[in-house]
Chain A
Amino acid sequence: MKALSVEKMSIRFGSVTVLPEVSFEVAAGECFGLVGESGSGKSTVLRCASLLLSSWQGEVRIGGVPVREMPLMERCRTLQMVFQDPYGSLHPRHSIRSVLSEPLRIHGLDDREARMAQALEDVGLPPDFLDRYPHQLSGGQRQRVAIARALILEPAVLLLDEPTSALDVSVQAEILNLLARLREERSFTYLMVSHDLAVIDHMCDRFAVMQAGEIVEVLPRDAIPSNQADAPYARELIGASLTYERAL
């Protein structure tokens, strides 16, 4: 179990300041949500934390160690990311076996077959799926493979970038249950981006509301049903979500 802390993270793309200065803390084993409208910088926070973007200022620590100072191999074994669109995040010409075996090979891990079978079992897929290609899988199955790929190096922190927004409600339920079960079994720390407050309420202990690259408020999940937000934008967002759900 490792805690994650983001201190004064800021990034600009050209003349546009996408994140002026973002700081928050995620306790070890917590599920922390990031919500906000599109373009508010939620995904950028994850991309910076995972060093998919590197030109940012500030500090991200996992278990007290700054991610920038971790050697690449150690970083990959500490933090992994699951992307939004399972249709775009798996290589169409790589079988599931090559998707899952590549990280094992790079990290020189043994028992590859057993580890791959275990990873598939963890996400509830049968072992013979190893020889399939992404186009032979449904959206929910692909997202399970993407989660298996993130799990296979046994990281401590998972960054989830809208893991269910490309999926149907019925499939979303399966993936959310899977993520909740894995967190219980392995005490992962989750940092989860979503635009759906019902999903955040279901999964997260606390969440931050973002607007124009800044965190306007951090709230516990219990603040949602009665809309206890103080920041005007957070109130508006929660209010809109509540109206949307209860409009009748």
Chain B
Amino acid sequence: MSHPILDVAGLTVRYPGAAQPAVRGVSFQLGRERLGIVGESGSGKSTVGRALMRLLPGAEVSAERMRFEEVDLTAATERQMLKIRGARMSMILQDPKFSLNPIRRCGLQIEEAYRTHVRSSRAEARARALAMLEAVQIRDPERVYDLYPHEVSGGMGQRVMIAMMLLTDPDLVIADEPTSALDVTVRLQVLKILDDLVREKGIGLIMISHDLNLVRNFCDRVLIMYAGRVVETLAARDLDRAQHPYTRGLLAAQPRIGGKRAPLPVLQREAAWNEDREEMA
């Protein structure tokens, strides 16, 4: 990768009072591609995303290297971060019910995200917001613009969130479980929209998820995390050929449509997976 958007080496995060760091020595590079981070709850995948956005006040974050384009994220001041967050690097959160402001109209929230970073008139911001709502395939943008978050469905809310996060043309989008609060039928539509926009605009995407099917279908490359560590890095299409027993265990534990109804193989955890490894895949 000649010019990675993101270059992380040895990222370690420790929450105050925790015996073990939540993330231990994570290293990866991201180009203009879609990278999936999968693991169980508590494996540290969301913490990695938040550490990149510098959204972990109080936690002890250290890294040998954490660069976002020309910015050194380990040294950037909060003032610099305010210019980067939401403008060049943005985050799509899990549940639109909890991450949109309940007492402001959807359209105004999208507009605000734009006006925070770009000097523009209200009319221009409104026009941009409406165009973006259309881009996320909301049929009647004018109407949705004036709705409050509780008046829109989950899938619609998540599209509003995607519109808000992509409006400033970021180079990097971190999607933290973007569809796990949505129904299967809606999930595919939302993923498709996100996927099309990311490809079209050449955005680097980090997709954080516990869902192996999702990363297999919507990512180029996958990092598998276990207990704060990356245990394996794979091309998404090679997921079935995973070597690490943890990845294989996760894949086997997944019930499949049309599968045998025999008891599912249960993951046998080994202490060795926690140990330090010198080489990185």
B-side contacts of A37, CB under 8 Å: 183, 185-186
Whether the Cβ atoms of B255 and A168 lie closer than 8 Å is: no
CB distance from B2 to the nearest CB of A (A): 28
B-side contacts of A177, CB under 8 Å: 263-264, 266
Report the number of A-B residue pairs with Cβ-Cβ less than 8 Å: 92
Nearest neighbor of B260 in chain A, beta-carbon distance:
A202
Which residue in A38, A198, A247 is a CB contact (below 8 Å) of B257?
A198
B-side contacts of A236, CB under 8 Å: 185
Whether the Cβ atoms of B213 and A244 lie closer than 8 Å is: yes
Q: Secondary structure at chain A's binding surface: helix, strand, loop or mixed?
A: helix
Whether the Cβ atoms of B216 and A248 lie closer than 8 Å is: yes
Whether the Cβ atoms of A242 and B257 lie closer than 8 Å is: yes
The answer, yes or no, to whether B139 is at the interface (CB within 8 Å) is no
**In the complex, what distance in Å separates the CA atom of A247 from the CA atom of B212?**
12
A-side contacts of B41, CB under 8 Å: 139, 168
Q: Which of A153-207 contact B (CB under 8 A)?
A: 168-174, 176-177, 180-181, 195-199, 201-202
CB distance from A35 to the nearest CB of B (A): 9
**In the complex, what distance in Å separates the CA atom of A171 from the CA atom of B255?**
12
Interface segment among B27-35, B59-67, B158-166, B246-254: the answer is B246-254
A-side contacts of B254, CB under 8 Å: 169, 173, 198
The answer, yes or no, to whether B24 is at the interface (CB within 8 Å) is no
**In the complex, what distance in Å separates the CA atom of A156 from the CA atom of B264?**
25
Known: A173-B253, A224-B257, A242-B257. 19 other contacts (CB 8 A): A168-B40, A168-B210, A169-B212, A170-B250, A170-B253, A170-B267, A171-B40, A172-B255, A173-B255, A174-B266, A176-B255, A195-B183, A196-B184, A201-B256, A201-B259, A237-B184, A244-B214, A245-B256, A247-B217
